[in-house]
Structures are given as structure tokens and as C-alpha cells.
Amino acid sequence: MTSASAPESWQATLAPFAKARTSRALFQIATSLLPYLLLSVTSYLTLGVSPLLTILLVIPTGAFLIRTFVVFHDCSHGALFPSRSANRRVGAFLGLFVLAPFVQWQHEHAIHHATSGDLDRRGAGDVPTLTVSEYNAKAWRGRLAYRLFRNPIVMFGFGPIFAMIIRPRLPKKSSRERMRNSVLVTDVVLAVAVAALCLTIGWSAFLIVWLPPALVAGSGGIWLFYVQHQFEDAYWESGDDWTYAEAALYGSSFLKLPKVLQFFTASIGLHHIHHLNAKIPNYNLQRAHDSNPIFSEVPTMSMVDGLRATRFKLWDERSGKLVTFAQARRAIAVTPKTAEIAPAGAGA
């Protein structure tokens, strides 16, 4: 791992890249939200021409929606525009298209950044992950529920419906008034907008045009978030052994995508840089990565590696790795009972 004094030098290296520019911010919106809206309108116009054309537009429309989400995400960090108010207002506006109440999402995501890779503070803004011992301590119903949740069909198929459409509509009881209001105002505006669109073009046309790209974007977004922190050698530590910098460098992957996919994901695959300094706008992440050779030492994943990473389900405290269910069973089979580790951390 790294030395305790290293974070200061990394912050100094990355500081020049944490400078937003209004012109670049507007360009980001012009190359994300505007194409998404244009393709959505085009999809509607193709309904009376050819269903095949409508289907062909689903993936590019969903891809631009993913890019729109990452731009929204930059606003939540105050990284897209130099102005704090501009980030807040544009973020709230973009949140309507990605169905995310800006203030609540911003709060939960900030917790994710502050606790990523910390075994003692799991569960806020991340993919729920159990240790092997925690999983084995659960009754069969709990193990079955966890297996179903971590099943790729459920996570990437049904997951977007819950994560994008259902969960953000419900304010948490423990939320502050400002966050509750963010949820309620977003819900009301969305309800009015959807009702107006359905009255204008019909509910069936609205669903055909909007839902498939939204599900594509949701599945792609969940996969991106998953592989950014869920890979075999990901960093997880407890208590005083956890450090923010090491969690960023070794618990956040560098997902090396083809240039066209890096464009549609707005370079969020350079996740180690983003976690080290969340104020760096997405359009500066690649240059920041290239600024210091040490960043080439971070966990690097190809798209194939990212697809394979969906096999890993549990954190094995003995090996210090994420493992599959089969690997966890084999490890238990060869480990004497006296050597078993008691459940630790949240989520047991």
C-alpha cells in the first residue's frame, strides 16, 4: 500500500485539474442532454414509420442518458461549473431527466465518498456487500435474499426499476426537511411533466419512447457503479486501518474503456482520480490521471474484466479479497472451525 504522507502530494498534483470552466460545462450539457432529447423526439417520430428504427435508437438514446447522469453527478460535487449556485440549479434540472432528487442524491453520494472501502461504515450509497462470515451467520432466508439481490439478472435487470424509478420517489423518514422537500418537489414536477407528455402523445407512445432507453441507461449505470468498487482485489479495511486515500487509489478501479465508451460515460471510469479529488470535472479526469506515474499503479480493468467482476459476491477477510459464493464454500470446507472469523461490521 502507500505511505501515510502521500495524500498531500497527490492533492497537490491534482489541484490544478480541479478548476471548472463555464464554457466546458456548457459543452458537456450540449453533448449529453441535448442529444438525448433530440434522439427521444426522433424515436417518437419513427413510431409511425418503422418500429425497427425506434428499436435501433434505444441504445444511443440510453448512452446519452448515461452521459447526462455523469454530468448531473459532477454538479452534485460542485465540479461542473465554477459557480456553486450554477451547479445546484443545473444539477436540480438534470435530476429531472435522471429521476434523481438533487439534494438527497448529493447527500447520499457524499456519504459514499466518505466511507467507500470502510468495512465498519458500509451501506450508504454503495452496493450492499457482506463478508463471508456475515453471510454464513444469516438464516437461510437472509442468504437467499442476498443471493437474489446479487444475481446479475436481478441487479442489472430489475435493479434500474427500483434504483431509478421507485426508491428516489420516497423520502427517508430520517431525512432533513431540505432533503425531503427535494424529493417531493422533484416528484411533483415529474408527475406534471409525465402527465403533460401522456396527454400530448399518449401514454403508450411515452412508455415506448422513454422506458427502454431509461432501462438501458439504468443497467449500464449500475454496472459502472458496480465495477468501480466491486472487483477481486478491491480495498476494504476496518477502523484505524482505513484511509481515504488508499480507499480511493486501491478501492476504486480504473475502468479502461474504448474512447467512444469513455465519451458516453464521461470518463467516470477514471474512478480512482474522481475519489481522490471529487472537485475535478469529468473533462479533466484523463489529464489528471496522466499527470503522475503513480496513477498507473492503480487497479486497472478492461471491459471484459468488468463483466467478470460480477461473479464476486462476498468479502473474504482471511484472504483480503472479494470472492464468489463457490470460493467462499471451498474456503470454509478447508478451514478448521477454530479458525473461523466472527462476523464484523454492519450488515450482519
Could you read off the pLDDT of 86-145 as tens digits, one per residue?
999 999 999 999 999 999 999 999 999 999 989 988 877 678 899 999 999 999 999 999
Beta bridge partners of 237: 118
Alpha carbons 68 and 275: distance in angstroms, whole number: 20
Alpha carbons 143 and 69: distance in angstroms, whole number: 33
CA-to-CA separations, 182 to 105, 175, 348, in angstroms, rounded: 9, 10, 32
- For residue 171, give the H/E element and its range: none
In a domain, residue 168? The reply is yes
In a domain, residue 307? The reply is yes
Say whether pTM exceeds 0.75: yes
In a domain, residue 49? The reply is yes
Q: Where are the beta strands (DSSP E) in 180-268?
A: 254-255
In a domain, residue 1? The reply is no
Which phi-psi region, left, alpha or beta, contains residue 303 (left: φ > 0; alpha: ψ -120 to 50)?
alpha
Give residues with Cβ within 8 angstroms of 56, minimum separation 6.
none
In a domain, residue 256? The reply is yes
Q: What is the mean pLDDT of each run of 10 residues along the chain (348 residues)?
A: 52 88 97 98 94 95 98 97 96 96 93 90 81 93 94 89 87 82 94 96 96 95 91 87 88 92 95 93 94 83 90 90 89 55 39
* pLDDT recorded at residue 136: 93
* pLDDT recorded at residue 128: 86
- Closest C-alpha to 274, from 301, 248, 236: 248
Domain count along the chain: 1
* pLDDT recorded at residue 347: 37
In a domain, residue 247? The reply is yes
Q: What are phi and psi of 130, to 5 degrees?
A: -100, 150
Positive or negative CA dihedral for 163, 165, 167, 173? positive
In a domain, residue 346? The reply is no
* pLDDT recorded at residue 336: 53
Mean pLDDT (the chain, rounded): 89
Alpha carbons 108 and 106: distance in angstroms, whole number: 6
Q: What secondary structure does DSSP assign to 105-142, as a single string?
A: HHHHHHHHHHHTTBGGG-SSSS---EEHHHHHHS-HHH
In a domain, residue 347? The reply is no
Domain around 203 = 6-339
* pLDDT recorded at residue 274: 94
CA-to-CA separations, 137 to 121, 158, 341, in angstroms, rounded: 19, 27, 11
